[in-house]
Amino acid sequence: MKKYALIIIDIAYTKLDRPFTYRIPQGMRDRVVPGSIVTVPFGRANTLRKGYVIGLSDRSELPDAQIKEIAELQAADRSGACAAETAGSREDGADGDFWVGIAAWMSERYGSTMAVALRTVLSSGKPGKPAVHREIELRVSMEDAAALLEAFEKKHQVARARLLRELMKTPRQPYALVVSKLHIQASTVRAMRAKGILEVTEEQVLRNPVSLGEVREDRKQLSPQQQEIADAVVRDFDTGRGGVSLIRGITGSGKTEVYIAIIREIVARGRQAVMLIPEIALTYQTLLRFYQYFGDRVSVMNSSLSESEKADQRERARRGEIDVIIGPRSALFTPFPHIGVIVIDEEHESSYKNESMPKYRTADVAAEIARRKGAVVVLGSATPSLVSYERARRGEYRLYELDRRLTGGTLPQVYVADLREELRSGNRSILSRKLASLLEDRLEKGEQSMLFLNRRGTAGFVSCRSCGHVMKCPHCDVSLSLHRGGRLTCHYCGYTERMPERCPECGSPYISGFRAGTEQVEAYLHKVWPQARILRLDADTTSRKGSYEKILSAFANEEADILVGTQMIVKGHDFPGVTLVGALLADLSLYAGDYRSAERTFQLLTQAAGRAGRGTRPGEVVIQTYQPEHYAIRYAAAQDHQGFCGEEMLYRSALLYPPAGHMLAVQIQSEQEDAALSEAGRARELLSAKEGNLFLIGPAAAQISRIRDTYRFVLYIKDTDYDRLIRCKDLLEADLAERGAAGGVPPVNYQFDFDPESPY
């Protein structure tokens, strides 16, 4: 057994981001392994700090007297330490090495410290004590239930009706799931229990947030199209070919059913599966579908779990008690012994890019994990990201299509309302005549509508309401943002100009920024249709915990006619009662000031259209815009992903934006403005001196140029060669380390972002 451990200290200080040697106390030697999280005395004052073991050694360069000892073993999350206890359920006791390797790969590829990469990959937290697992079970016959349901509905006992309806679909359900996802109060459950309608059962378990009594086996017969995809992916797994498959399939085309089929096959081969879903789309219905296939062998990881509940899930995964984990981005690092497949649903979603260090793209880390483990990766979306789609086109990913809805139901009719026309004919209200008349029609018929404002971030663009002209940067071809004091600024290169008084295109004085919010929309609707029941969902109404889901489930239960909100209302939710969707001002996201604005708008509008008419009645969609001729809007209206990608690639190629090229954002932060600025200038000079012929942009002040008294400047580097950008990053890091060693570290902090997905 090794005597020493190499440890990375969990500290946000680049200079200390290297391994330190510690002695392992006798009693810990059989348990400390790579991946272990420990507490160690550090620095002159021997302050206790968290550290990550990245390697073991028999000897050390330093004399023993100078070597400190590990104080405590916090968790052996990734280690094989417990393998002995669980009777050899794992073959590779070196699994901790695997995750340390992934952290090292991420640190190199994304330019983060090793400490922060390890923190991302190895999660701490200790498993909790066994808790009581409760389930709710329906105790009356279906006929009685139906009669009761009618009575509840008549008495407007909404919560009871909601719970009963769910139990009639699935008679036995986890208590926690019912209470949190359906927003049922404990008192409601108690009242119904008192009447003998349902029963609550309890058992002691290592907390699994969900489990269903028995696994239902009403397996769907896959369509030939679905079967072909599932077979091909499983074949890639069996032959060891591995790789990434991308499924492009409209909402409702049966992607989830394909994921389930693939996961079942691979689980049957003794391997495990990670199913990633954007947190926002982790709905009750989706979870239930997985439970119906995998029962107790599936678990969820999401932000509503406590740290110790999350640790429980990891522990169960490590022990081989579950085969499938469903969760957002971070579930990727679940310590399964033999991961076989990683599925990423709605792969285009921005939540798959980590916005703090290391700024990784989930699909790329998944591909690396899969490559090292002999696993396969499946990406799915109705509107794949340009990056993934382009890779598929180049043959790096395999592309599959699902182009029919299996439950019948037609694609919605999409109308584009030209707001310039509306202005010309004297309509200055929020709603075009088309949208207003369709809303009126839905209210009369008692069908539901959703209206959304796709506002993003703080950037305010300026456009002409007469001709639709948008003020753009002459160098970067992205929209300029309006700042206080009336200046327009480009967030890539820092170019600025004065806000014009008249449109430079048509001379109209109606040129301005936009100031419309969901609250005004709601107020306007109330005024026009006082009898309509309206729900609003935005950052204001959802700041309280759980209120987001509460509003959505109320709307899903048809407790309102109109749902007004930000773009979050169109993501991943299934409202069968909705037959009309309105994008109030598509231009809002079209001109968010970054190179991905058009892509994001296309995705959002296409996804929004997919929300209309999911039930049996056909849906209609109205896109309101000042620029109906913009290709993102035209292709969204035509639901033409391929056409959009073709045109968008022309734009990206012209300016070398990803995926035509690669882009590295170097963010330089300091509490001293001049230090940050001169450091940014130095970085630019260093790069141009050492790496000739680089496409450098900036440095410019970041969009939010100061956060918590820290000034932020950004330098962009564009190149077709990703490795060259890594070299640039290494160069800057080495320079900083060199000056640090000479005692001349300026008070600055560097952050790197490869192929950034939003502007700084």
Where does this chain bind ligand ADP (CB under 6 A)? 220-223, 226, 249, 251-257, 406-407
Amino acid at 467: C
If binding is defined by CB under 5 A, does position 480 make contact with Zn ion? no
From the list 372-380, 476-484, 545-553, 642-650, the region that binds Zn ion by CB under 5 A is: 476-484
474 cis-preceded (ω within 30 degrees of 0): no
Rounded distance, CA 691 to CA 678, Å? 20
Q: In this structure, are residues 436 and 623 in contact, taking their beta carbons and an 8 Å threshold?
A: no
171 cis-preceded (ω within 30 degrees of 0): no
492 binds, among Zn ion, ligand ADP, none (CB under 5 to 8 A by kind): Zn ion
How many helices and strands (H and E) does the chain possess?
22, 30
Instruction: Report the largest interatomic distance among the alpha carbons of the chain, rounded to a whole angstrom.
Output: 87
Q: In this structure, are residues 703 and 734 in contact, taking their beta carbons and an 8 Å threshold?
A: no
Smallest distance from ligand ADP to CB 610, Å: 8
Smallest distance from ligand ADP to CB 250, Å: 7
164 binds, among Zn ion, ligand ADP, none (CB under 5 to 8 A by kind): none
- Contact residues for 366 (Cβ-Cβ < 8 A; gap 6+): 244, 274, 276, 332, 342, 344, 377
| Smaller CB separation from Zn ion, 267 or 464 | 464
If binding is defined by CB under 5 A, does position 74 make contact with Zn ion? no
508 binds, among ligand ADP, Zn ion, none (CB under 5 to 8 A by kind): Zn ion
Smallest distance from Zn ion to CB 481, Å: 11
254 binds, among Zn ion, ligand ADP, none (CB under 5 to 8 A by kind): ligand ADP
Q: What are 604's strand-pairing partners?
A: none
Q: In this structure, are residues 134 and 174 in contact, taking their beta carbons and an 8 Å threshold?
A: yes
Choose which of 37, 197, 273, 464 interacts with Zn ion (CB under 5 A): 464
DSSP assigned state of 279? G
If binding is defined by CB under 5 A, does position 467 make contact with Zn ion? yes
Rounded distance, CA 721 to CA 661, Å? 7
| Smaller CB separation from ligand ADP, 170 or 223 | 223
Smallest distance from ligand ADP to CB 288, Å: 11
If binding is defined by CB under 5 A, does position 490 make contact with Zn ion? yes
251 binds, among ligand ADP, Zn ion, none (CB under 5 to 8 A by kind): ligand ADP
Rounded distance, CA 685 to CA 17, Å? 26
Q: In this structure, are residues 48 and 5 in contact, taking their beta carbons and an 8 Å threshold?
A: no
If binding is defined by CB under 5 A, does position 471 make contact with Zn ion? no
493 binds, among ligand ADP, Zn ion, none (CB under 5 to 8 A by kind): Zn ion
End-to-end CA distance of the chain: 49
Smallest distance from ligand ADP to CB 251, Å: 5
Between the alpha carbon of residue 512 and those of residues 477, 491, 615, the distances in Å are: 19, 19, 40
Smallest distance from Zn ion to CB 655, Å: 10
If binding is defined by CB under 5 A, does position 420 make contact with Zn ion? no
Q: In this structure, are residues 235 and 161 in contact, taking their beta carbons and an 8 Å threshold?
A: no
Smallest distance from ligand ADP to CB 153, Å: 24
Q: In this structure, are residues 358 and 307 in contact, taking their beta carbons and an 8 Å threshold?
A: no
495 binds, among Zn ion, ligand ADP, none (CB under 5 to 8 A by kind): Zn ion
From the list 498-506, 580-588, 678-686, 727-735, the region that binds Zn ion by CB under 5 A is: 498-506
Smallest distance from Zn ion to CB 469, Å: 4
Smallest distance from ligand ADP to CB 659, Å: 24
Give the DSSP H or E segment for 368. helix 362-373
| Smaller CB separation from Zn ion, 209 or 593 | 593
If binding is defined by CB under 5 A, does position 656 make contact with Zn ion? no
Q: In this structure, are residues 612 and 578 in contact, taking their beta carbons and an 8 Å threshold?
A: yes
Nearest to 9 by CA among 52, 67, 41: 52
If binding is defined by CB under 5 A, does position 503 make contact with Zn ion? yes
Q: For residue 137, what are its two tokens?
A: 């079970």
Q: In this structure, are residues 100 and 35 in contact, taking their beta carbons and an 8 Å threshold?
A: yes
φ/ψ bin of 242: left (φ > 0), alpha (ψ from -120 to 50), beta (otherwise): left
Smallest distance from ligand ADP to CB 752, Å: 35
| Smaller CB separation from Zn ion, 534 or 694 | 694
459 binds, among Zn ion, ligand ADP, none (CB under 5 to 8 A by kind): none
223 binds, among Zn ion, ligand ADP, none (CB under 5 to 8 A by kind): ligand ADP
| Smaller CB separation from ligand ADP, 28 or 324 | 324
Q: For residue 193, what are its two tokens?
A: 């229990």
If binding is defined by CB under 5 A, does position 487 make contact with Zn ion? no
DSSP assigned state of 472? B
Sheet holding 243-249, edge to edge: 298-300, 324-327, 272-276, 339-345, 376-381, 243-249, 398-402
| Smaller CB separation from Zn ion, 209 or 628 | 628
Q: For residue 332, what are its two tokens?
A: 């990727």
If binding is defined by CB under 5 A, does position 469 make contact with Zn ion? yes
407 binds, among Zn ion, ligand ADP, none (CB under 5 to 8 A by kind): ligand ADP
Smallest distance from ligand ADP to CB 404, Å: 10
255 binds, among Zn ion, ligand ADP, none (CB under 5 to 8 A by kind): ligand ADP
256 binds, among Zn ion, ligand ADP, none (CB under 5 to 8 A by kind): ligand ADP
Q: What are 6's strand-pairing partners?
A: 21, 55
Interface with Zn ion (CB under 5 A): 464, 466-467, 469, 473, 475-476, 490, 492-493, 495, 503, 505-506, 508
